[in-house]
Each structure stands twice: as C-alpha cells, then as structure tokens.
Amino acid sequence: MTKAEKVTEIIRILESYYPETPVPLDHQDHYTLLVAVLLSAQCTDVRVNQVTPALFKMAATPQEMVKQKVSDIAAIIRPCGLSPRKSKAIFELSKILLEQHDGKVPNDMAALEALPGVGHKTASVVVSQGFGVPAFPVDTHIHRLAWRWGLSTGKNVVKTEKDLKRLFPKELWNKLHLQIIFFGREFCPARGHQPLDCPICSKFGRKALFKQLQ
C-alpha cells in the first residue's frame, strides 16, 4: 500500500467514526474560545468546561476582564493548573485586544501568537475552530498518533505539523485535527493502548508498537 492509499484509508476510518466534529471547548464567541484554549494547556477539555462558566459569568469580554483582579481570575481557574501564569496571560491579552485590536480577537496567526500565553498551537486552534481558517493544530496527542501511524518521524510537533499538512488535503485539516483527537481518546490512548484492538494501529501501526505485546 502506498502512502497516499494509507492516508486515504485513514481519512475513511476517521470519517466513519466521527462524521461530526463539534468543538470540544464550550464557548460563545472568539474571545471565550481564545480564553478556553489558553486554559486547556496541560489540562483536559472536560476540566476547562467545568471552570469556564464561573469565569465567563464574572467576565466574558476583554472589557470586563481587565476590570478584574488577576488574583480573582487565578482563584477561579486554579483547577486548570498553572493558574498564576494563565491568569496573568488572560488579563494581559485582554488589555492588548482592547488597545490594539478594538477588543476583537484577530484571525491572523502572527497577531494571535504575539498575545501573552498564546503559542502556535493555541493560535492554530483559534483560527481553525473559531474562524474556519485551514490549520492543523498539533498537540502531544496528535504528535503521538502521527508517529504510531507512521505518518511522521515523531521528532517534534513542528515536524509533525509539516508532515500532516503535506499528507492531508488542506480542506480537511480543521476536521481531521478534531477527528484524530477524538479517535485518540477512544481507541489510541497514551496509556493502556492495545494496538491490535485499534482500528488504525492494527492496520498501519509501527512494528515497535507490537513488540510491546510480545
């Protein structure tokens, strides 16, 4: 099987399991999405969704957020981890949005990455899930699966993102990003993974995976 045929089959499998790909982080607009994605760093989406209702009840716009104390923001988001750093980033990026972007979240990667606490992956999620701009956000989970499936060398997330963008059609990037995340959670977890039971690893998994079973 050629690499192109392998990619086509992976697309088919992912589409069969996840024809719909709802955004996993609860949000009302671009700003609340940005904040939720920032909070999701080293935290589960489930935990973020448990925390954000209280945060957005207190402040759901940049205008409201800059009126809050950083310590009050930190107290609410503490369950997400890294609360001192994340609370400061939320406060500071809200100020910058007001001062430089008329209070609106930009749909430009460079402008997003210039915001405090917003790296390449966070910016990619915001433009893809918030604005529909083609992007392929690669977190540690997608990075792991891309290696398992033989789609990338697995050296780093930057290389993995380039490899996935080269292999998959641009018009599918936004959906595939979520499909791979959903698939990883259900069939291809980091721990307790059974390659022979995985619909993709059982077909295309690297040989190293199966040595673990011997």
Residue 158 is predicted with a pLDDT of 93
Residue 13 is predicted with a pLDDT of 98
Active site residues: 121, 139
Residues of the chain under the 70 pLDDT cut:
208-214
For domain 3-20+137-211, give the CATH number: 1.10.1670.10
Residue 1 is predicted with a pLDDT of 78
The domain locations on the chain are 3-20+137-211, 30-131
Residues 6+ apart with CB under 8 A from 79: 47, 50, 51
DSSP 64-108: HHTTS-HHHHHHHHGGGS-HHHHHHHHHHHHHHHHHHSTT-----
DSSP assigned state of 172: G
Tell me if the domain spanning 30-131 has CATH number 2.30.300.10.
no
Residue 212 is predicted with a pLDDT of 53
> pLDDT for 83-122, tens place per residue?
999 999 999 999 999 999 999 999 999 999 999 999 999 9
CB 76: neighbour CB atoms within 10 A?
Answer: 20
Residue 214 is predicted with a pLDDT of 42
Residue 2 is predicted with a pLDDT of 86
